[in-house]
Structure 1
């Protein structure tokens, strides 16, 4: 289970946090390629499927909503397995296919596009501060994520972080949801 709090930032707030928490020099690049059926059957269930590419390799992740966070299923992919998903909508992992069965997909998965992120992380006493600059489908956005192990304590620390930095609380959808919403507008 992943417990994290999110808040969209404007570019000015992003730069202010980068400076305040001295995150320069510790960036990690990653790319997310998103998959769904043409009718967005996973999205309609609140779930999402992606391949994350990092310098360390490829990981296929299914995210499913739960009461206090997201259930994530991760499977490491070879280049060929990733290519089979891109080209044919095929997943070789029995574990991942078993997780996907509950959605009763009626058509094949297809590649919807890519979101690239430059990520900066800083461990704070109350949680992991993550600052992301993401580019996808002709747009760039900025986001603060705060990853914690305890929901109640983490929520208080996150709210204090926003207040201390004079950042308004903004309803913030997951990157996958923001990507899918934008993709739906372009169809």
Structure 2
């Protein structure tokens, strides 16, 4: 009995240890394969670019001519950036130096026109008004009109002028206004 126990223990130990070792090795291999991505793996594809949009694409199985399964895909062509056109070009205008010279009896206002387009040339039909300010009643002391052509991405600067016809006046308050900057494509 003692011998059978030893033999059983020795044999059982070897067999049990061998089975346990084999099961442990298989479990470890399975874990490594699963964690490593080998088991049931999908083909690795790079992610689509940020600007790509999901769109359906048809897939065709040559063995089944009636196949028309739709699978998700990506449209990898970037959408073209379109420039928007606003015929009111006052946002393209910057004015500075609103002034009046008493010796010349002349109003002046420096205008800078910046064409925001990278592809189109614009013509700006400008109107500058020197308006009564105190009291501001909507009346104009004078106006200046001019058309200016500006190339894509360029800035054109000019000084608008208006000379008063009267030779004498009292002190007055005035403001300069770009009242029109109608923009047309050339």
With structure 2 as the length reference, what TM-score do the two structures score? 0.21
Which gives a bigger RCO, structure 1 or 2 (Cα 8 Å, sep 6+)? 1
Q: Which has the higher helix share?
A: 1
